């Protein structure tokens, strides 16, 4: 009997050990699948073009940073990053500024047409940019904003404002209403209460909303490319036009790609627990 118990215990232990191992194998394979293409881009960005085209090497044999140097010294390249950053930051600030009070209203009050409005916002988050490309082009041309940063920032508000409203509303509903009421009894005015008490309470929500506004504006290409030609041309559009007379400069293209991943990779650790929530518009 005793031997029997130890046997079962041992077999359970070994079985659970096998299961942990199989999980580790699955995760390793999956992560390998995710990282291999990115590694390949990084690998290419550190090679010379002759090494890329003439030999097939799994890691750079002649390590070179010349591709990065090209991008960081040539204004035609690095201005792309500057342009992208300018309109992305503009968009994030605008989106959050208008979304904060609106999200508060949706999370706290009932008013005429609130549900319809909330749904209408969602439908804009889901609107295909392809549908809006041409009308945006004409709208911003006619008001003289074509090829400016603000045009792209406003265009991206189409999906980022609804996104920010939905995410922030998801965070705000978690804050008990008693806090608002206590603050009003204590004599706080609405703006003072909102900035001094309420915003610190949903600081993580604001961070997540800002991150997602930043990301979605950063990754979008179709609208930003349609609305710009020279002065506000984003890095993504420059990358799609690297094909010169002598063929594609693969090394520089790869380096440019790696540099666009950097902003996301830098903050990913801080938002890791909110990625699902942000993509699900604050609903998880």
| Site for another protein, residues 7 to 46, rule: CB under 8 A | 22-23, 26-27, 30-31, 33-38, 40-41, 44
Question: CB 201 → another protein: shortest distance, Å?
Answer: 15
Cα–Cα dist 234/24, whole Å: 40
Q: Phi/psi zone of residue 128: left (φ > 0), alpha (ψ -120 to 50 degrees), beta?
A: beta
53 binds another protein (CB under 8 A): yes
Q: What would the x/- binding string for another protein be over residues 251 to 280, using CB under 8 A? A: --xx--x--xx--xx--xx-xxx-xxx-xx
Q: Which of 68, 78, 188, 250 binds another protein (CB under 8 A)?
A: 250
133 binds another protein (CB under 8 A): yes
177 binds another protein (CB under 8 A): yes
Cα–Cα dist 116/122, whole Å: 10
Q: Which of 46, 90, 152, 157 binds another protein (CB under 8 A)?
A: 157
240 binds another protein (CB under 8 A): yes
Cα–Cα dist 219/261, whole Å: 10
Residue 111 or 230: the one with the smaller Cβ distance to another protein is 111
Other residues' Cβ atoms within 10 Å of the Cβ of residue 209: 30
The secondary structure of residue 198, as a DSSP letter, is I
Question: CB 267 → another protein: shortest distance, Å?
Answer: 9
- SS3 call for 55: coil
Place of tokens 């010349």: 66
219 binds another protein (CB under 8 A): yes
Cα–Cα dist 120/113, whole Å: 10
Phi, psi of 33, deg, nearest 5: -60, -40
171 binds another protein (CB under 8 A): no
112 binds another protein (CB under 8 A): yes
């Amino acid at each position: 009997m005793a031997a029997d118990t130890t046997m079962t215990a041992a077999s359970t232990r070994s079985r659970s050990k096998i299961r942990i191992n199989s999980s580790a194998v699955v995760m390793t394979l999956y992560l390998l699948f995710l990282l291999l293409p990115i590694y390949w881009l990084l690998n290419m960005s550190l090679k010379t073009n002759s090494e890329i085209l003439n030999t097939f090497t799994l890691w750079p044999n002649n390590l070179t940073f010349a591709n990065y140097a090209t991008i960081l010294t040539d204004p035609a390249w690095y201005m792309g990053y500057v342009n992208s950053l300018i309109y992305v930051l503009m968009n994030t600030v605008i989106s959050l500024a208008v979304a904060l009070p609106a999200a508060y209203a949706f999370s706290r009050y009932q008013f005429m047409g609130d549900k319809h409005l909330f749904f209408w916002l969602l439908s804009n988050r889901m609107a295909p940019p392809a549908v809006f490309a041409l009308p945006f082009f004409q709208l911003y041309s006619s008001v003289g904003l074509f090829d400016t940063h603000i045009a792209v920032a406003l265009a991206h508000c189409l999906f980022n404002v609804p996104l920010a409203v939905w995410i922030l509303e998801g965070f705000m509903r978690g804050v008990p209403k008693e806090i608002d009421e206590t603050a009003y009894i204590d004599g706080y005015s609405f703006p003072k209460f909102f900035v001094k008490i309420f915003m610190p309470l949903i600081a993580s929500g604001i961070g997540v909303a800002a991150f997602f506004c930043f990301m979605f504006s950063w990754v979008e290409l179709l609208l930003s490319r349609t609305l710009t030609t020279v002065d506000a041309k984003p890095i993504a559009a420059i990358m799609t036009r690297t094909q010169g007379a002598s063929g594609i400069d693969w090394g520089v293209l790869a380096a440019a790609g790696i540099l666009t991943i950097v902003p996301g990779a830098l903050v990913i650790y801080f938002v890791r627990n909110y990625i699902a929530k942000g993509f699900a518009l604050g609903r998880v």
